[in-house]
Amino acid sequence: MLKVSQLYIYPIKSLGGIAINKANVTERGFEYDRRWMLVDPNNLFISQREVPKMAMMNVQITDKGIIVSYPVKNSVFTIPFEPLKNEFAEVTIWDDTCKGQFVSNDADEWFSNMLEIWCRLVYMPDETARITDQRYTPPDSITSFSDAYPFLIIGQSSLDDLNKHLNQSLPMNRFRPNIVFTGGTPFQEDAMHTFTICNITFYGVKLCARCVITTIDQATSTKGKEPLKTLARYRFRDNKILFGQNLVHKGMGEITVGDNLTVLEINHDDRFLINAGQLSDQ
């Protein structure tokens, strides 16, 4: 039996994640997930790819707002749930452009000082509907400031399988999933076409291509070669290293750690079937 074992949200794109016991599923993903984002002077998104130290910024959700702490400089800042500025701009995430709302001058100054780069904090207002990649998803599917899709799922067995091939085991936070499940076989999520959790239907639409963020220690921001070096030996296809499944969904409600995950349909498309057995000698 497959069960939800971990749930995560990442309120500010590319900052630290929050492990939660319950998650409210909204039309664009988990509530609070990547509704905020840092941008550069050209309003282009900033991530750990360029600024690894973002990993060490810890995030909490409180009644008063989003609290961000940066132990490196022993500093804390509170972000209000509602932006203080009535200033909007078109912001860019990869190939997408959508409207964001600047939060406050104080937020811009704090993040710029902490990260030692010029940046501004933007919020995705409710009226912004960022459409997911229409090559893979239904036309009414939207997401937040995520890379491309509202959810990422990874099976615990997949990470366990990877760790067997590594000299040092890696934690799940290297891969920044939203949903983790137990009870399955390694890479079972690859072929999950349709499944349900608490009467909410999820659809596996595209295997997740991994980048250098997976090589960044989320506690120290130091970079290494793993897991990409090892994954490239048995999770490589079309010049991409694949680990995890991107999801869209139908329905809203709440899911909880411990909920059953019921697979309704398996995807037999070759794009979703990757040899998860022996490593190559490359």
Query: How crowded is residue 263: how many other Cβ atoms within 10 Å of its Cβ?
Result: 16
pLDDT score at 277: 46
pLDDT score at 11: 98
Buried b (16+ CB within 10 A) or exposed e, 224-244: eebbbebbeebbbeeeebbbb
Distance CA 14, CA 212 (A): 12
The arrangement of secondary structure in 2-8+134-272, i.e. its CATH architecture, is: Beta Barrel (2.40)
| Residues 103/110, Cβ–Cβ less than 8 Å | no
Strands 36-39 and 120-123: antiparallel
| Residues 212/37, Cβ–Cβ less than 8 Å | no
pLDDT score at 21: 98
For every one of its 282 residues, what pLDDT tens digit does the chain have, with 9 covering 90 and above?
999 999 999 999 999 999 999 999 999 999 999 999 999 999 999 999 999 999 999 999 999 999 999 999 999 999 999 999 999 999 999 999 999 999 999 999 999 999 999 999 999 999 999 999 999 999 999 999 999 999 999 999 999 999 999 999 999 999 999 999 999 999 999 999 999 999 999 999 999 999 999 999 999 999 999 999 999 999 999 999 999 999 999 999 999 999 999 999 998 776 676 754 455 444
Residue 276, token pair as written in the block: 């998860």
Query: How crowded is residue 246: how many other Cβ atoms within 10 Å of its Cβ?
Result: 24
How far is the CA of 106 from the CAs of 1, 16, 102, 120, in angstroms? 49, 20, 11, 10
Mapping DSSP to helix (H, G, I), strand (E, B) and coil, where does residue 161 land? helix
Identify the H or E element spanning 109.
Answer: helix 105-115
Per-residue pLDDT tens over the stretch 1-41: 999 999 999 999 999 999 999 999 999 999 999 999 999 99
Does the predicted model carry a pTM greater than 0.75? yes
Mean pLDDT for the chain overall: 95
pLDDT score at 269: 75
Residue 24, token pair as written in the block: 């409210």
Virtual torsion, Cα 202, 206, 211, 213, nearest 10 deg = 0
Going from N- to C-terminal start, the domains of the chain cover 2-8+134-272, 29-131
| Residues 178/259, Cβ–Cβ less than 8 Å | no
pLDDT score at 108: 98
Distance CA 142, CA 157 (A): 29
